[in-house]
Amino acid sequence: MTKTLTRPQAAEIYRRLHAADPEPETELHADNPFTLLVAVVLSAQATDAGVNKATPALFKAASTPAKMAALGEEKLGRYIKTIGLWRSKAKNIIALSKILVRDFGGKVPQTREELETLPGVGRKSANVVLNVCFGQPTIAVDTHIFRVGNRTGLAPGKTPLEVEEGLLAITPERYLRHAHHWLILHGRYICLARKPKCPACPINDICLYKEKTPAAAPVKKKAAKKKAKRLAMTPKLKTARPKKRARA
């Protein structure tokens, strides 16, 4: 049976994450709900840093659904060619822009059900938009949060939806607003996939992960001094200089 943290343990985890970063923010750059929606669609199977490099010029040219729809797939593609799967993403962004203009008065809807009707927008993307733009207590489970939820014992699950439901159930209400960002940033910078930084982890003592990365062994001062002394006493080899040729 998979072990799960208790509610008091979960509350302590969030208390520590809150103390370290009271107001966490998304690392995607956007000026309004629409540009954030576009950035989120572009970030699928791509890094936030990669998206942020491409979007400033794009958003300067098209920051509303109407302007984006007028831009068209071909011109949009020129701005986002450095991002993976850019052709399909360009198609989806133009399509969702037209739908926003036609069905939502050019505004980004504020319900998950409506957001998920847009091309390229799934449950995770909808949760990000709802949380960041409209302050709703949603948790978007990406690879980082999925890993943290399972490793720590905070919300073990076999699917992103199971982890999301587990997190919503165990997260204290006062921490729900920022839980998504605390967990994603923890997974991105501390609880790494290959070699988690357990020695630097603020919740190391609560986490149930068995294969924690050990702290680096401290260098003993005496051993270091002996090694330095031994090296100092080692005679240096002199390089033989070539003999000068006698003049004829």
CA distance 198 to 152: 11
Choose, from 142, 158, 210, 244, the residue flagged as catalytic.
142
**DSSP 8-state assignment for residue 217:** P
Pull the structure tokens for residue 65: 């659904």
142 counts as catalytic: yes
Q: Kindly calculate the radius of gyration of the chain based on its CA atoms and give it in whole angstroms.
A: 26
Cβ contacts of residue 167 below 8 Å, gap of 6+?
Answer: 139, 141, 145, 149, 154, 155, 179, 183
226 counts as catalytic: no
CB 142 within 8 A of CB 184: yes
Choose, from 124, 205, 226, 244, the residue flagged as catalytic.
124
Neighbours of 239 (CB within 10 A): 6
Active site residues: 124, 142
